Amino acid sequence: MLEPSADEIRDWGNSVTQFMIDYLGGLRDRPVYRHTSSREIRSGLDSKLPIKGIDFDSLLKIFRDTIVPFSRQNAHPRMFGYVQSPGTPIAGFADLLASTLNANLTIWRSAPAPVELERLTIDWIRQILGFNAEAGGLFVSGGSMANLAALAAARQTKEHSLGHLRMYASSATHFSITKAVALLGIGRENMQNVAVDEHFKMRMDDLVAKITADTEAGYVPFCVVANAGTVDTGAVDPLREIREVANRFELWMHVDGSYGAFAILARSARKSFAGMEQADSIALDPHKWLYLPVDVGCVIYRDPEIARATFAHEAEYTRMFGEEADEAFVCWDYGPELSRRFRALKVWMLLKGVGLDRLSAAIESNLACARHLESMVQASDDFEMAAPVELSIFCFRHVPAQFRNESPEAIDAFNERLLVASQRDGSSYLSNATLGGRFALRGCVLNYRTTLRDMEILLDDLRRVAKSLRNRA
Ligand SMILES: Cc1ncc(COP(=O)(O)O)c(C=O)c1O
């Protein structure tokens, strides 16, 4: 098993490929989610410490019978919860190849071609976003790590001894930013929540007022974080205006584009992102809107030298001899990790194999699905929107006739029960958001398999589950 024969490898590969074919072929017929418990799952797993190994077929059988049915089916076309990509077969094969080669992308010398492929792919992403030619970055584990790395670089630009650093981000910002601020020692209390307008976008007047008041009080404003697609509603902050304010007060501008930035590939959404290319840093997640499987996030710095000043570390055991320029590229100079898997392979295989035209069309289709849902909700008399649709996230509530005269609290409580019941039902899967203090059902279309018809099925599912809830009450 540790070193299988060629025949064994072929047999394992054939079995795994057959599983993939059957699984993807039957995806639409599976429930997105099956309610279960820790006890039920554990009862299907042998918990004894394995002293002797078992054969590959038995391992695959446990995966097929116990792991797969009790997983949320993230590739299902009606998996609308959170910000979940479906993965794609080409990336599944890329991950297999990356693990087979087991390249470790620490420095160019350790993995010359893989590092070169990462730099090439990062440069393609830079071009997609419209950043300057000098911009560069790294693949990291996800958006959270990309945000952390970018904020570490931002912190480098201000003198800490002058006073407490202050950072600004809208109240709709993802919690990974708050976490980064805490981990970097800046302190959660030094992250200022800027108010949002009725479209859940950062309010410029509040941003300027907060920076001005902090400066007068002796704080050191150092960074403003703009959202290119908030996690709750998909709102894109006014990026150009934020850049102007950042320039005026000499702040670093970081964009959290983990969810939304790749929607710049869709013609109908492109204008929302004007100014994004002027950011000092951006966090992206190819494992969201490039449909790739986890984990692959990406951080890009407008001036990578600032990242180098933040992360470079010269230890004797890592010293390089006799190498120059490109071949002396040190990955750990640009981010917090040392050992890094070959994430670039799946990004490269996707971009090169699928091509931007087809990716743009898929993202455009996701946007159309969210807009279709919004139109259906607006035309209905039993649903209401809770936020405008800007990208592919939609927030709404079910308000059947009997609830129309009920209090907002009663409608929220009913929708909360509906969310849980519909997740257990398994035909469609939503998550939730709290908007203006009220509960909302929330969905995000992030799957090239999702069709307009799936959006109709979603509303039908909710009506059906709501009816059964009312009948039970
Ligand atoms: C806007 C935004 N930022 C950051 C993140 C964190 O990304 P990750 O889960 O890849 O760490 C998310 C995750 O959903 C997100 O939506």
Confirm or reject: Cβ of 297 under 6 Å from ligand 1: yes
Task: Kindly state the average pLDDT of the residues 373-389.
Answer: 98
Centroid of ligand 1 to alpha carbon of 35 (angstroms):
25
Centroid of ligand 1 to alpha carbon of 123 (angstroms):
22
pLDDT per position as a tens digit, 438-451: 999 999 999 999 99
Centroid of ligand 1 to alpha carbon of 143 (angstroms):
5
Look up the pTM and report it. Answer: 0.96
pLDDT per position as a tens digit, 191-234: 999 999 999 999 999 999 999 999 999 999 999 999 999 999 99
CB 80 within 8 A of CB 430: yes
Give the CA distances from residue 408 to residues 223, 380, 385, in Å, rounded to whole numbers and listed in that order.
37, 19, 14
The pLDDT of residue 470 = 83
Task: Kindly state the average pLDDT of the residues 247-256.
Answer: 98
Centroid of ligand 1 to alpha carbon of 267 (angstroms):
23
Q: Which of 77-86, 298-307, 325-334, 412-421 has the lowest mean pLDDT?
A: 325-334
Looking at every residue in the chain, the average pLDDT score rounds to: 95
Centroid of ligand 1 to alpha carbon of 140 (angstroms):
12
What is the pLDDT confidence band of residue 17, given thresholds at 50, 70 and 90? very high
The pLDDT of residue 313 = 81
Centroid of ligand 1 to alpha carbon of 392 (angstroms):
15
The pLDDT of residue 322 = 54
The pLDDT of residue 332 = 92
Percent of the chain beyond pLDDT 70? Answer: 97
The pLDDT of residue 18 = 98
Q: Which residue has the tokens 């150009």?
A: 240
CB 122 within 8 A of CB 335: no
Task: Kindly state the average pLDDT of the residues 257-267.
Answer: 98
pLDDT per position as a tens digit, 182-198: 999 999 999 999 999 99
Percent of the chain beyond pLDDT 90? Answer: 94
What is the pLDDT confidence band of residue 315, given thresholds at 50, 70 and 90? low
Q: Which of 76-85, 99-108, 308-317, 439-448 has the lowest mean pLDDT?
A: 308-317
Task: Kindly state the average pLDDT of the residues 269-294.
Answer: 98
What is the pLDDT confidence band of residue 305, given thresholds at 50, 70 and 90? very high
Confirm or reject: Cβ of 154 under 6 Å from ligand 1: no
Give the CA distances from residue 386 to residues 234, 236, 393, in Å, rounded to whole numbers and listed in that order.
12, 17, 11
The pLDDT of residue 472 = 77
The pLDDT of residue 321 = 53
Residue 323 predicted with pLDDT over 90: no
Confirm or reject: Cβ of 221 under 6 Å from ligand 1: no
Confirm or reject: Cβ of 234 under 6 Å from ligand 1: no
What is the pLDDT confidence band of residue 1, given thresholds at 50, 70 and 90? confident
What DSSP string runs through 70-103? TS--TTSTTB-STT-----HHHHHHHHHHHHHT-
Task: Kindly state the average pLDDT of the residues 108-112.
Answer: 95
Centroid of ligand 1 to alpha carbon of 281 (angstroms):
16
Confirm or reject: Cβ of 259 under 6 Å from ligand 1: yes
Task: Kindly state the average pLDDT of the residues 369-396.
Answer: 98
Residue 370 predicted with pLDDT over 90: yes
168: helix, strand or coil: strand
Confirm or reject: Cβ of 143 under 6 Å from ligand 1: yes
Centroid of ligand 1 to alpha carbon of 147 (angstroms):
9
The pLDDT of residue 207 = 98
Which residue from 74, 80, 83, 444 has its CB within 8 A of the most atoms of ligand 1, so it is best to mutate?
A: 83
The pLDDT of residue 206 = 98
Ligand 1 atom showing the smallest separation from residue 287 Cα: 10
Task: Kindly state the average pLDDT of the residues 331-349.
Answer: 96
pLDDT per position as a tens digit, 53-62: 999 999 999 9
Give the CA distances from residue 345 to residues 88, 100, 226, in Å, rounded to whole numbers and listed in that order.
13, 12, 29
Q: Which residue has the tokens 């890094």?
A: 340
247 contacts: CB under 8 Å, gap ≥ 6: none
Ligand 1 atom showing the smallest separation from residue 83 Cα: 14
Which residue from 285, 299, 444, 445 has its CB within 8 A of the most atoms of ligand 1, so it is best to mutate?
A: 285
Confirm or reject: Cβ of 285 under 6 Å from ligand 1: yes
Residue 317 predicted with pLDDT over 60: no
